[in-house]
Amino acid sequence: MGTESYDVIVIGAGPTGENIAERTAKGGLRTAIVENELIGGECSYWACVPSKAMLRPLEALGAARSVAGAREAVSGGPDAQSVLKRRDSFVGDWKDDRQVEWLRRAKIDLHRGRGRLAGERLVTVTAADGSATDLAAVHAVALCVGSKAAIPAIPGMDDAHPWTSRDATAARKAPRRLAILGGGVVGCEMATAWKQLGAEEVTVVERGSRLLSGYEAFAGEAVRASLEEAGVRVLTGVRAHKVERAGGEPNGRVRLFLDGGVEVESDELLVAAGRAPRTEDLGLEHVGLRSGSWLDVDESMRVRAVPSGWLYAAGDVSGRALLTHMGKYEARIAGDAIVARATTRGSLPEEGPWSRFAATATQAAVPQVVFTNPQVAAVGVTEEQARAAGIRARAVEYEIQHVTGAPLYADGYRGRAKMVVDEDRKVVIGVTFVGPSVGELIHAATIAIVGAVPLHRLWHAVPSFPTISEVWLRLLEAYGL
């Protein structure tokens, strides 16, 4: 069988790959997508979607209990079986029939199997039965293979059969005792979920000095206080030196050996210690790249080290912002750039930092919401990051509970907001909110940062009363307007 030719070949059918393929197909380019697992990728089946499906019922229950008149109607805790059944419905019971049908309607050809680069613009797809198909791209190949859980090189880890985020979001029941190695987003969210869904003991072990280290310090402090109030044991500033699984069997108890002779015993160990690129079996060596590496890209998502500009990479694999919404954003940039170059003999119709062909938001305006209790929402830079970058920054804070809408939203509402301002440009460069449901506030901050809205103009963006968004007015007043 000969080589099949396409205008564009996308390796990886997660949200990033789907978005590139959709843009190029709509742009009139014959497009193929290659996937070895489920169409829809990590986010749809093992990350954002199932984890939020698990967390939302717990948040809703907590919200009802926080308002007099509603709390009296609430009895008992969450029904874990119903929560997990709802989760399963959101992931289609880990079947991708609907996504396959979407590809068909979008006129995107699907090749099931592991895609590997075989040379310039060449891809070999190896199916589960070992058969191989060779594909050739006229214009571009896009790598959207995502990332995987990074497993630290701790003695005994390989034999301990640890959970990764995939196991934690797909488990059928709560372990009686759960130890979590890592106090970042995954660790904090899964501690929040499984403690309320039936785990009797949950311990979070973080080698850094605080939880959520990439955020403003008060965010991690608030989440820690809430976890400890819920009965989660939080250990910070300690490292794990060894792991043992009794008998080396998957069902044996796990012992985690920490600094100072501290031991943590559990039934399952979740490793949530960062991510690594899924590029170790991608054929990068055939195009002059190092296997297993992150892929350095330009603003249109072309891989810099590959001549002729035919190879693109977007999403986690670029190492820029490991978030689904940012991967989809990069995919839109890449897809449009591929179409534009294919139809204009290699040039782009517009240039500049805010061109629709330049993924500049991953440098200055990456929003993220942590769905813990309380929620943490942030965009831009922290005060510490701004000063480290040499920016003459000023930060102001405000206790959200002092906004009239906050106590109306929930009795005893507690939260904090922080705004970081570039004093030379007089624009907002970072915002952090901590409190119930603050995730819905963050897009306003994203717009202010992306638009570089001067403070004297932002003053005229009047928040509705009595909503929690009135915190914007209070932050600007605290600044001195």
Confidence of residue 387 (pLDDT cuts 50, 70, 90): very high
Q: Which domains does the chain have, with CATH numbers?
A: 4-40+96-148+277-361 (3.50.50.60), 158-273 (3.50.50.60), 374-479 (3.30.390.30)
Span 79-123, pLDDT tens digits: 999 999 999 999 999 999 999 999 999 999 999 999 999 999 999
Span 245-297, pLDDT tens digits: 987 677 789 999 999 999 999 999 999 999 999 999 999 999 999 999 999 99
Confidence of residue 235 (pLDDT cuts 50, 70, 90): very high
Residue 330: both structure tokens together: 């990069």
Span 161-188, pLDDT tens digits: 999 999 999 999 999 999 999 999 999 9
Average of per-residue pLDDT across 228-232? 97
Average of per-residue pLDDT across 326-345? 95
| Cβ density class 105-115: b for 16+ within 10 Å, e for less | eeebbbbebbb
Q: Taking the mean position of all CA atoms in its chain, how far away is CA 43?
A: 8
User: What is the rounded distance in angstroms from the CA atom of residue 171 to the CA atom of residue 193?
Assistant: 12
Identify the CA nearest to 331 among candidates 70, 16, 3: 16
Q: How far apart are the first and last CA of the chain?
A: 71
What's the pLDDT score for residue 442? 97
User: What is the rounded distance in angstroms from the CA atom of residue 111 to the CA atom of residue 92?
Assistant: 21
Q: What are phi and psi of 139, to 5 degrees?
A: -110, -45
Span 17-74, pLDDT tens digits: 999 999 999 999 999 999 999 999 999 999 999 999 999 999 999 999 999 999 999 9
What's the pLDDT score for residue 96? 95
What's the pLDDT score for residue 1? 59
- pLDDT at residue 229 greater than cutoff 90: yes
Q: Is 472 helix (H, G, I), strand (E, B) or coil?
A: helix
- pLDDT at residue 299 greater than cutoff 70: yes
User: What is the rounded distance in angstroms from the CA atom of residue 210 to the CA atom of residue 220?
Assistant: 6
Q: What are phi and psi of 261, to 5 degrees?
A: 75, 10
Confidence of residue 234 (pLDDT cuts 50, 70, 90): very high
Q: Is 3 helix (H, G, I), strand (E, B) or coil?
A: coil
What's the pLDDT score for residue 247? 74
What's the pLDDT score for residue 346? 73
What's the pLDDT score for residue 373? 95
- pLDDT at residue 324 greater than cutoff 80: yes
Helix, strand, coil percentages in the chain from 3-state DSSP, rounded to 5? 35, 25, 40
Q: Please report, rounded to a whole number, the percentage of residues in the chain having pLDDT higher than 90.
A: 94
Average of per-residue pLDDT across 331-335? 98
What's the pLDDT score for residue 251? 76
User: What is the rounded distance in angstroms from the CA atom of residue 190 to the CA atom of residue 373?
Assistant: 11
What's the pLDDT score for residue 362? 87
CA dihedral 309, 312, 318, 323 (to 10 degrees): 140
Residue 148: both structure tokens together: 């995987």
Confidence of residue 364 (pLDDT cuts 50, 70, 90): confident
Identify the CA nearest to 36 among candidates 53, 54, 17, 56: 17
Residue with tokens 């009296």: 72
Mean pLDDT over each residue of the chain, to the nearest integer: 95
What's the pLDDT score for residue 366? 96
- pLDDT at residue 461 greater than cutoff 80: yes
What's the pLDDT score for residue 248? 67
User: What is the rounded distance in angstroms from the CA atom of residue 300 to the CA atom of residue 312?
Assistant: 8
> Which class for 54: exposed (0-12), middle (13-18), buried (19 or more C-beta within 10 A)?
buried
Span 206-218, pLDDT tens digits: 999 999 999 999 9
User: What is the rounded distance in angstroms from the CA atom of residue 280 to the CA atom of residue 259?
Assistant: 33
Q: Is 137 helix (H, G, I), strand (E, B) or coil?
A: strand
